[in-house]
Structure 1
């Protein structure tokens, strides 16, 4: 099965278009998380007071530095302005979004991976209906070549996993439940909590199931580049073939 990696840039009204247009040397990289986004902002020039004030308005500053390479800052902000995200359109066309999104000079730069070239074409056709689109590259990924951008966004893996399920999973992991041989049992794990064994096991199993379900699309992506299944033995040769 062939995979396709497409890089495109999009111009439309978005939260960071204005600032990236007014400061052409500015580069903004965005990593969306479950309830917020992390922005890495860099500039080769010394920032003006006006730029610093605008960056402060984007969110909470987590890191800030200035050196020979220029100005660098990391901020965290809410996703309240991104409810109708373009990422939703990617998913509707079976295209996997690969973060980060890069904003520069008024353009948003995205990379997506698809299992079918037709999905890329249909995605581009829909996007062109209401915004400017430039397809920068479209590459067919050869068999056994897993693209460098196939790192699954961490927040996607934990979608819909509740706090109690996460706590059950963390306790099991830290206690050696998943080691071989196991260093603990479900009974011992439950005794470290305030819930019954059956309740703890339910939390743990639901967490495991959700993690595997969320990772399924990325597992499919990786195995799509493998031509053979290592768990299936090759069919034995027929009598006629052995005779040859």
Structure 2
């Protein structure tokens, strides 16, 4: 279903609809401060209240070098820690433990006013872009007042969208996806992915993976098979939800 433009903000039957508002903000909250310093880097952020997953993209590898060196100081300022890091010439991926609060995060402010937000949040050239889903106008008005208290806020776009848009915005819970895996299964599955076992053609054999893990081939295969089976079962609800959105 296509969004229904609500340019006048009145005269629209709101049953089954909510407002989607795209905002651009200038403020001094932590992630945006990084974007102020590293103007040649675009930052994409996902947060599940446990970790923040950050993608830093730039065609200037030197800019990413400087950012990577500054990362420990930035993370320490958040009283957080890095749990994952990956780097290529034009991209730095970092996962940090979430330390968001209504005092330092527009995302938490949004949730505090009973609104939703659509990931990723984008930071570029010292400004943040955030998309908010507000079930009721009063909720957004309250949020807008909160945001104005910490930021210069510009409304880029406002449309009325069907509540079905949440199907598209539905995000996977990592705890739901992986909670059935044992620590050993997770370790072996991750090692298999990183070593290229699932590549076509395979970059490493089952025999070599088993040797490196000090396991028999049959034991390693059993761990992999159980991990794959549990992942597919955990994905089943999301597969059904996504499949239901396809036109028949």
TM-score normalised over the length of structure 2: 0.54
Alignment of 1:65-214 (within 5 A): 65-66=88-89, 71-80=90-99, 82-84=100-102, 85-142=105-162, 146=165, 149-154=168-173, 166-167=179-180
Report if aligned partners of 2:84, 2:96 keep a CA contact under 8 Å in 1: no
Note if 1:11 corresponds to 2:29.
Answer: no
Q: 1:129 to 1:16 in 2, by over 3 A?
A: closer
Residue in structure 2 matched with residue 190 of structure 1 by the alignment: none
Task: Flag the structure with higher helix content.
Answer: 2
Report if aligned partners of 2:46, 2:119 keep a CA contact under 8 Å in 1: yes
Question: Gapped runs of 5+ residues in structure 2?
Answer: 1-15, 76-81, 183-236, 242-248
* Bigger Rg, which one: 1
Q: Secondary structure at the match of 2:171?
A: coil
Q: 1:125 to 1:27 in 2, by over 3 A?
A: same
- Report the Cα distance in structure 1 between the residues aligned to 2:46 and 2:68, rounded to whole angstroms: 21
Note if 1:51 corresponds to 2:74.
Answer: no
Deviation at 1:10, TM superposition (A): 2.3
Question: Gapped runs of 5+ residues in structure 1?
Answer: 172-211, 220-244
CA displacement 1:52-78 (0-9 Å, x = unmatched): 312455435532112xxxx10101112
Q: Secondary structure at the match of 2:169?
A: coil
Deviation at 1:6, TM superposition (A): 0.9
Report if aligned partners of 1:4, 1:116 keep a CA contact under 8 Å in 2: yes
Deviation at 1:41, TM superposition (A): 0.5
- Report the Cα distance in structure 1 between the residues aligned to 2:24 and 2:132, rounded to whole angstroms: 11
CA RMSD of aligned residues (A): 3.6
Deviation at 1:27, TM superposition (A): 0.7
Number of aligned residues: 163
Q: Secondary structure at the match of 1:25?
A: coil
Deviation at 1:153, TM superposition (A): 4.9
Report if aligned partners of 1:2, 1:116 keep a CA contact under 8 Å in 2: no
- Report the Cα distance in structure 2 between the residues aligned to 1:86 and 1:2, rounded to whole angstroms: 23
Deviation at 1:2, TM superposition (A): 1.7
- Report the Cα distance in structure 2 between the residues aligned to 1:87 and 1:151, rounded to whole angstroms: 16
Moved beyond 4 Å, runs of 4+: none
Report if aligned partners of 2:101, 2:108 keep a CA contact under 8 Å in 1: no
Q: 1:51 to 1:91 in 2, by over 3 A?
A: closer
- Report the Cα distance in structure 2 between the residues aligned to 1:99 and 1:21, rounded to whole angstroms: 21
Q: 1:26 to 1:87 in 2, by over 3 A?
A: same
Q: 1:120 to 1:34 in 2, by over 3 A?
A: closer
Q: Secondary structure at the match of 2:165?
A: coil
Q: Secondary structure at the match of 1:98?
A: strand
